[in-house]
Amino acid sequence: MALGFVRPARPEDAGEIARIQLATWRVAYRRLLPRQVLADLDEAWLAQRWEAAVRQPPGDSHRVLVAVEQAEQSYLVGFAASGPVDPEALAPNEPAEALGPEVVAVTDLLVEPRWGRRGHGSRLLAASVDLWRESGFTRALAWVFEGDQASRKFLTTAGWEPDGAGRALDVDDMLVPQLRLHVALPTEPPEAT
């Protein structure tokens, strides 16, 4: 297990968050998304969006956390973003009231592939769960690409399961299927052993 920790993102982290997102998508989604879409992603544009998300989140329970690898130097190696459900969390034709105010949506949970399998994803998820619980959320959900076996395995190993909802994203005239996973949040943190 690597030495590392999770902390809230700072505006100055936006460039690294964008770099991690781009690098991860280009590796993890290279067989799921059109090559041209991945090639055309603009890191500077992503950094501006992340800086805005960190500097001026839409609400108090919107969070961006970063994972830090500690070695001789410290490196940002992953991040998680979440917030109350919005229309993006809904399945096609699902009524807006289907997901109530007690549900939080994970919009991103990424660890740069070269830093994978070192506990960073688990630390990000655990820190997120603590914050969700403090905010009064009782259930969490996340959309994952059906072909993203790594994310599906990571979340299902942590107790998440499909809730039966599915959709297909239209990405450059290519339909990319997704499924929605969910988990009930424990009301109390697990006891230390």
Model pLDDT for residues 45-100, shown as the tens digit of each residue:
999 999 999 999 988 999 999 999 887 778 899 999 999 999 999 999 999 889 99
Q: In the CATH scheme, what is the code of domain 4-184?
A: 3.40.630.30
What pLDDT, on a 0 to 100 scale, did the predictor assign at position 3? 82
Residue 116 is predicted with a pLDDT of 72
Domain boundary assignment for the chain: 4-184
Q: Which two tokens stand for residue 151?
A: 């994310």
Chain mean pLDDT for the chain:
91
Contact 44, 22 (CB under 8 A): no
Mean pLDDT of 126-142: 96
Confidence of residue 114 (pLDDT cuts 50, 70, 90): confident
Q: Is the pLDDT of residue 193 over 60?
A: no
pLDDT confidence tier of residue 24, bands split at 50, 70 and 90: very high
pLDDT at 12: 96
User: In this prediction, what percent of the chain has a pLDDT beyond 90?
Assistant: 72
- Residue 186 is classified by DSSP as P
Would you place residue 1 in the very low, low, confident or very high pLDDT band (cuts 50, 70, 90)? very low
Which structure tokens are listed for 98? 């289907």
Comparing 6 with 75, the larger pLDDT belongs to 6
pLDDT surpasses 70 at 191: no
Non-local (6+) Cβ contacts of 84 within 8 A are: 59, 61, 62, 101, 103, 104, 105, 137
d(CA 107, CA 136): 18
The residue that leads in pLDDT, 73 or 130, is 130
